Structure 1
């Protein structure tokens, strides 16, 4: 029977972007406790239950404003640790919750401080190494933290602008790294708490994003590297610490080696992964290989090992069935059993979720862009990944730009497809995971060849009959927001409209206002974007800034910004909105006063999606769930352009 979009119900925004029922499942290292994130009075908090009795669950934290999004078990299983910032300022502090008593302690009680984790230990389960920038916001000093007592012992005062450190299982600092003049990194040995004067190895700019140390084995005899030196795609290398001899462990013909599974006690690599169009795991250890095959045979779609006991006998498995809500399982490797833990969003059971298709798109200069396409339900009768007739398209551009899009369940794709749009996510040049040549092809190409890639992808979609030339929108966050502004200023006739989420409009002021803790790596920004300290570099930054072309904008634009964003300051959005208003160009601008680089509070994320889908419906003609009372539940402030989005004026009244 032929179906069309109208035959499929709207998926409520809340089902995709509201709080999950449960998420972030883990098991304690000793295997006695299960933990997860779940709402308490509408805010995500940490919950815990005995593995032997999951029904005896209790909330362990009481966050009231911002959701807790990242937590982990202390190595001795006596406490749960989490990080939290304030209103999106990214000054993350570390908190401890005692598993027995529920007592909560702030382990890093400092102002304007962002912690970094340096190392944990199988041998010293009650301690971790952390970096603190409370002395100097641009540099992290290294401390040994006793997670039970809260005592901090300074191990190294970072007065030489080191960007990172590596420790062994004894929590002894072994390596420091610093940005060098070439835009790469110098790696220094640390002996008896002192960094040596000369580096033992280095990288230049071309290898800076594909080469990094990946940790020591527990006995300190082997140092692993993800290493792109002397090759295009990063390989897994084992270096004998005593002799310096290096051994190739694994490589992939199309993608960088990405992740590893390590023995929970010895730290020896047992499996590795690479992700070109889809993530692949390759086992080195026979036992790990059998377990991965066991899971592959029983779970549809993709899966990931997200937590392991110290004895490695129980794993927590996240399963992405792709067209159904994600599920989490408890895998007992000894018993050979796979038991359900929870469904993340049970309200999506039976919803008209759609498939994602991987595609390779050729650029005008011969690169291949790994990309991902989702089509609206009812538009692809034969399931070949092409709609039966062209449909409106949203080009969804990832941030970074040194990041990537990947295959799998994507709530943005599902939401937009359900509203009637094809959704195309493109790994344009500069995206990570596809070799250093692909990354370095983007150097000094912001709004240049990086944008050409996006235009080439649009042309591909039109040529394939996926969309029509006058029905393409561009949307994205951070660099994706910048790409949106570039699209509407450098190629103003290509896109029907744009949605910019925390995107910079002025590259010159963006680099002037980067967070202080990014200063140790600022040279890389200069060499990849444009160096404001040289006349040529400064001019390039001006030339590639959408702000200076704001008068070219002739299509509807929605801008969303967090007021406390430390990466892309609110002034980046303010500037271009002011320029558009001076020119009399319509723009809708929404600010969230309690958010940063993105929208963490579900109420605010729901408000943003409500505004966005009604904005897109007016531009492209898709479907939209009414705004309703969504904005009133959020902190959204519509600074201008309320009358350009259906439902906003009525909401205000």
Structure 2
């Protein structure tokens, strides 16, 4: 689950102009649309044969895939024609003849796979089923005319594996799935491994020989290692199996296992962070570099030539390079770098010529905008656990950009989703937006966040609303004691788990926050676990072991005590809730329940619904609309700046089910809409 929550009604009280002016200084207001509207271009790729450049850009206001010859990247033609939801994920077919992309309907996450012929523009629905979620299981640089896909059209809980002929569209069953969490294929598109969840929340790994799954597992991973250990793929000839593996250590290392002998070699590890990203050679599929991120990301080369290339790119780009795509011949790359205070620019890197050719800047309207740095910090929790965190300060509150405020300012604690995810270093539109509005922004990797070793992750087991929430409370205390903010000027905002943390903050520690913004956050953990999507069946025991087991009396009591709904009457501060009507992860009922409980107690709340969204807001018009409401809501309780809602609801499907009169300008804007 992955993002954003006063009984005192202050909606009719505008922030005094003198206060807003003092907080703004001479810093221009960055328009919402420039941060959250469509970029000019995004998701740059290059075809495996090196002949085509691709990217997404607006077509009639919706992000679609465009393709151009590599020698003439400005001469692009539109290839997809999505009219409602943006194309958010696409990739090239191995033979470079098609663009493959996935799309759902209204955020229901039933993603189907589509293919578009580059030469003719013909689009084909490659998985023509209803109530089906397609997954890519395997692709190959050897067999370019087909891929392996997983389909749960037979049984919603399990994905059967099919071979998909990209020329004809024919689907051929490879492996019927009767209870396996997933499969791993090699470069010959042969299934070599099956993964099965255990009752203890761990995973068993089974070899597949001649198409048959062996009866006994060859490897077993327990609960503590289950989120930090997984196979990372085979090399091209299938003789080496790579693992990201925390077994026998705390942080996950990158390991190469000789398939024939079983011998394992540690390629790389970090004492503070799990190995995350890896670069693999497009021909041999051998690992050439790996990356671990504790506070900031850094590449460690395995191959000397790749190491020299990455060093050169870092020097030329001015920051750690991000490699977005490579050709089969490995002669051309698509690269960018995250400088935090500049919009990302994407380049074509010609390795033989040693040249970088600019392809596009994703958000040119932000060039020269008053973007501010992100500062990595470590915060100590009450039990001594170090919490890797990030602090972003308003430009006028940190004149020398050293990460130490010149004076206290209102603060927004932004809580990431998951909870088994993390915040990382880099440009973040929400941090920039809130800082520009006059708020310090604190992002905390609380216990249970991933990327910092299994001990850090396991410290969050059965700690929803307890130690996980304490980490956030302690981080607010840290910010107050360090003069970043004052105790009466802190808001909490987050989505999915972050939405839960928002509700928990307003119920379990109601004096800590001045207000909260909850996006698609669960309010009742018991009903949450009862409505998880069927295709998450294999992960159910993970939820039970790490959250609480709803099938036992002790588990039920634990979940009830950790559910904000149980204590809704404790809410004293203003709350804004945003929800997608079609959310398959956090059902709309989660928001409905807390709103109904608050209404029954006469507690004010603003409830915003988007009928064409799911778990978060994919359509920019909806995202802009919600953020228009959110920043005017925050202005009322924290006193920062806000761009008036105005026509910020234009093009959105936003519905205000409750509390329109609580947010400045919302009732009027809804009436004009």
Normalised by the shorter chain, which TM-score bucket?
over 0.9
What's 1:401 paired with?
A: 419
Q: What does the per-residue CA deviation read over 1:222-261, in whole Å, with 9 as the maximum and x for residues that have no partner? A: 1010000000000011111011111111111110111111
- Residue 255 of structure 1 aligns to a residue whose secondary structure is coil
1:297 matched to 2:320: no
**Of 238, 242, 247, which aligns to 2:256?**
238
Structure 1: how far apart are the matches of 2:61 and 2:408? 40
CA contact (8 A) 1:301 1:322 kept: no
Q: What does the per-residue CA deviation read over 1:183-234, in whole Å, with 9 as the maximum and x for residues that have no partner? A: 1100000111111111011011000011100001111101010000000000
Output aligned runs, 1:360-371, within 5 Å.
360-371=378-389
How far off is 1:649 after superposition?
1.6
1:573 matched to 2:586: no
How far off is 1:428 after superposition?
0.2
- Residue 572 of structure 1 aligns to a residue whose secondary structure is helix
Farther-moved stretch of structure 1 (94-103 vs 376-385): 376-385
What's 1:5 paired with?
A: 24
What's 2:238 paired with?
A: 220
Farther-moved stretch of structure 1 (252-261 vs 475-484): 252-261
Output aligned runs, 1:312-461, within 5 Å.
312-461=330-479
How far off is 1:539 after superposition?
0.6
What's 1:588 paired with?
A: 606
Structure 2: how far apart are the matches of 1:295 and 1:106? 39
What's 1:78 paired with?
A: 97
**Of 80, 87, 91, which aligns to 1:68?**
87
Structure 1: how far apart are the matches of 2:392 and 2:320? 17
Q: What does the per-residue CA deviation read over 1:419-470, in whole Å, with 9 as the maximum and x for residues that have no partner? A: 0000000000000000000000000000000000001100100011000000
Structure 2: how far apart are the matches of 1:12 and 1:470? 27
**Of 105, 127, 136, which aligns to 1:108?**
127
CA contact (8 A) 1:4 1:377 kept: no
Structure 1: how far apart are the matches of 2:281 and 2:669? 55
Output aligned runs, 1:486-501, within 5 Å.
486-501=504-519
Output aligned runs, 1:72-151, within 5 Å.
72-151=91-170
**Of 34, 47, 69, which aligns to 1:15?**
34
Structure 2: how far apart are the matches of 1:140 and 1:542? 33
Structure 1: how far apart are the matches of 2:650 and 2:593? 27
Output aligned runs, 1:508-523, within 5 Å.
508-523=526-541
- Residue 630 of structure 2 aligns to a residue whose secondary structure is helix
What's 1:56 paired with?
A: 75
What's 1:153 paired with?
A: 172
What's 2:8 paired with?
A: none
The TM-score normalised by the length of structure 1 is 0.99
How far off is 1:301 after superposition?
3.0
1:555 matched to 2:576: no
What's 1:47 paired with?
A: 66
The TM-score normalised by the length of structure 2 is 0.96
1:642 matched to 2:660: yes
Q: What does the per-residue CA deviation read over 1:141-192, in whole Å, with 9 as the maximum and x for residues that have no partner? A: 0001111211111001012x10010011000000000111221100000111
Gaps of 5+ in 1: none
1:278 matched to 2:291: no
- Residue 395 of structure 2 aligns to a residue whose secondary structure is coil
What's 1:210 paired with?
A: 228
Q: Which runs of 4+ in 1 moved over 6 A?
A: none
Q: Which has the higher contact order (CA 8 A, sep 6+)?
A: 2
Output aligned runs, 1:160-175, within 5 Å.
161-175=179-193
Farther-moved stretch of structure 1 (268-277 vs 297-306): 297-306
CA contact (8 A) 2:257 2:264 kept: yes
How far off is 1:501 after superposition?
0.2
CA contact (8 A) 1:5 1:379 kept: no
Number of residue pairs matched? 650
Structure 1: how far apart are the matches of 2:222 and 2:204? 9
Structure 2: how far apart are the matches of 1:534 and 1:147? 48
Structure 1: how far apart are the matches of 2:519 and 2:667? 22
**Of 171, 186, 210, which aligns to 1:192?**
210
What's 1:506 paired with?
A: 524
What's 1:604 paired with?
A: 622
Structure 1: how far apart are the matches of 2:172 and 2:125? 16
Q: CA RMSD in A?
A: 0.8
Gaps of 5+ in 2: 1-21
CA contact (8 A) 2:31 2:643 kept: yes
Structure 2: how far apart are the matches of 1:650 and 1:168? 58
